[in-house]
Amino acid sequence: MKNKMSRAGILLDVNDFAKARNFYETVMEQEIEEVIGGDHINYKSGMALQRDYKGIVEGSKDFAATPTGAKLEIKTKANNYQLAFEVEDIDYWQAKIKASGVEIIHDVHEYVWGQRVIRFYDPDGHIIELGEDLEVVAKRFLAQGLTAQEVSERFGYPLEYVQQLLNAK
């Protein structure tokens, strides 16, 4: 199909490319898909890091023959989006994130649907959320004696979805 979109993901503007790469590859355990020059990297998860995103959009001499006419204001800690990951062992990740020295927004917190989540800033001030995989949450509830119907009600999801989670792996 000619008009089909082929890739979706998120690109993060980073100030210190080496520091950001170290954080995402060492702390966040992201696997490299491809590195393009010294200022762009794609990860298998669908996220990418870019040095000088503003320069690309505005068409600076490093990236384009002529300016685009666009003007961007890059804000640190804009707090208007988050990059979310699901993990199996939230306690492992909380310890790892805390040991990395990044700024924690909040420690692991359990929401009414039972998912435990931690939020923090990456080195460039982007909000990162690590939440328990819902399959882990559903199986924890089942081990605590809840029925699949009770898990469905707690999640606010259809029973069929919860049954898929409970039968996974």
For each of the chain's 169 residues, which pLDDT tens digit applies?
678 887 778 999 999 999 999 999 999 999 999 999 889 999 999 999 999 999 999 999 888 889 999 999 989 999 999 999 999 999 999 999 999 999 999 999 999 999 999 999 999 999 999 999 999 999 999 999 999 999 999 999 999 999 998 888 6
How far is 158 from 78, CA to CA, in rounded Å? 35
Query: Dihedral, CA atoms, 108, 109, 111, 116, nearest 10 degrees?
Result: 20
pLDDT of residue 6: 78
Report the alpha-carbon distance of residue 44 to residue 54 in Å, rounded.
Answer: 24
Give pLDDT, residue 1: 61
Go through 118-127 and write b for each residue having 16 or more CB atoms within 10 A of its CB, e for each that does not. Answer: bbbbbbbebb
The phi and psi torsions of 18 (rounded to 5 degrees) equal -65, -40
Check residue 2 and give its pLDDT: 78
For β-strands 116-121 and 104-110, DSSP reports them as antiparallel
Global pTM reads: 0.89
Cα 116 to chain centroid, rounded = 15
Q: What are phi and psi of 48, to 5 degrees?
A: -140, 155
DSSP string, 124-149: TS-EEEEEE-HHHHHHHHHHTT--HH
Instruction: Please give the DSSP secondary-structure letter assigned to residue 66.
Output: S
- Which pairing describes strands 127-132 and 82-87: parallel, antiparallel, or unpaired? parallel
Q: pLDDT at position 32, please?
A: 97
